[in-house]
């Protein structure tokens, strides 16, 4: 059943690898809980699920984890309904807890400059890391999208990156000339001296050993740069993505365009990333509302 669920998540739900593994772990947890009470998988009820959630709540699990658990269980039992193993989905009536909307710290242009100034560009690995930060901030990529970016995904003449996001969904993200120039330098002057291991030849960002970088390594690179720069902010790769979106919106970009560039399925998700400053809102209404224009003209 586990293998069937994996295939269902990958082929039907088109989930990314990390999400698939998380859902599998969540269902494994549920199955262990059910078996400890002598309940076979096809006899799990809404009450069983509520009991497990209640136990987990006593351990103070995060709301986001609860939401993922419920989503995974719903998918699992939905598959069982499709396969005619169950008539009804016992997880369909589980209520999702309200998700808190936490905004990451926003980095200013000067913050980005301070981060990048900490890299010694004469050192190959630090030049690579400098370029990664430029691409993350300049294109708003997820860290998983960055580490799996391939040489064939660069369309330099068109000034676009071909990106495959969650669920392998394709999108085209504009890339600025500065980032393209840095990528070109890295690829032809630094990466060209690395011998990729078999299967790693297509990836852009490589380690000295010839393997593509991991998400953990990118987190470490940014953490170390933040410490060197002395920034008093909690910064992660996601902070660069959030800062990318915030800069666009505060400078007047259409929210739908930002949604497309970030690869969000819902405009509501984009709104979480784009907290707009009060000054920007005030300037906007002063520029476009006729009563504000009239008042300013009379002063």
So where are the chain's domains? 1-83, 109-294
Residues 212-244 as b or e (16 or more Cβ within 10 Å = b): bbeeebbeebbeebbeebebeeebbbbbbbbbb
CA distance 261 to 172: 7
Q: What is the pLDDT of residues 74-131, one digit of tens each?
A: 899 898 888 888 888 988 888 777 655 556 678 888 999 999 999 999 999 999 999 9
Nearest-angstrom CA–CA distance, 133 and 141: 10
User: Quick one: CATH architecture of 1-83?
Assistant: Orthogonal Bundle (1.10)
> Residues 207-212: what's their mean pLDDT?
95
Does residue 140 have a pLDDT over 80?
Answer: yes
Element (H, E) at 134: helix 124-139
Q: Are 244 and 124 in contact (CB under 8 A)?
A: no
CB 212 within 8 Å of CB 148: yes
Options 3.30.413.10, 1.10.10.10, 1.10.443.10, 3.20.20.70; CATH for 109-294 is 1.10.443.10
Q: Per-residue pLDDT tens for 36-45?
A: 989 888 888 8
Q: Which two tokens stand for residue 237?
A: 């790769």
Q: Is the pTM of this model over 0.95?
A: no
Q: Of 47, 40, 34, 54, which Cα lies nearest the Cα of 86?
A: 40
Q: Catalytic positions, please?
A: 142, 166, 238, 241, 264, 273
């Amino acid at each position: 059943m586990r293998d069937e669920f994996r295939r269902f998540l990958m082929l039907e739900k088109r989930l990314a690898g990390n999400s698939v593994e998380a859902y599998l772990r969540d269902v494994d947890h549920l199955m262990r809980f059910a078996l400890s009470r002598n309940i076979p998988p096809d006899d799990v009820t809404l009450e069983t699920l509520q009991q497990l959630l209640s136990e987990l709540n006593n351990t103070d699990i995060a709301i986001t984890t609860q939401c993922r658990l419920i989503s995974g269980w719903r998918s699992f039992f939905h598959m069982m309904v499709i396969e005619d193993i169950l008539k009804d989905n016992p997880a369909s009536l589980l209520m999702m807890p309200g998700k808190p909307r936490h905004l990451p710290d926003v980095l200013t242009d000067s913050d980005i400059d301070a981060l990048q100034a900490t890299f010694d560009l004469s050192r190959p690995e630090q030049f690579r890391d400098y370029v990664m930060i430029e691409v993350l901030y300049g294109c708003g990529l997820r860290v998983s999208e960055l580490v799996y970016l391939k040489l064939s995904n660069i369309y330099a003449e068109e000034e676009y990156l071909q990106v495959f996001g969650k669920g392998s969904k394709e999108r085209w993200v504009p890339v600025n000339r500065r980032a393209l120039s840095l990528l070109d330098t890295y690829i032809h002057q630094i990466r060209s001296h690395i011998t990729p291991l078999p299967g790693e030849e297509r990836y852009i960002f490589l380690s000295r050993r010839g393997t593509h970088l991991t998400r953990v390594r990118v987190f470490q690179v940014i953490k170390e740069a933040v410490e060197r720069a002395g920034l008093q902010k909690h910064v992660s790769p996601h902070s660069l993505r959030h800062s990318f979106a915030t800069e666009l919106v505060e400078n007047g970009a259409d929210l739908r365009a930002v949604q497309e560039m970030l690869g969000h399925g819902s405009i509501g998700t984009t709104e979480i990333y784009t907290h707009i400053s009060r000054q920007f809102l005030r300037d906007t209404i002063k520029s476009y509302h006729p009563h504000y224009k009239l008042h300013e003209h009379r002063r």
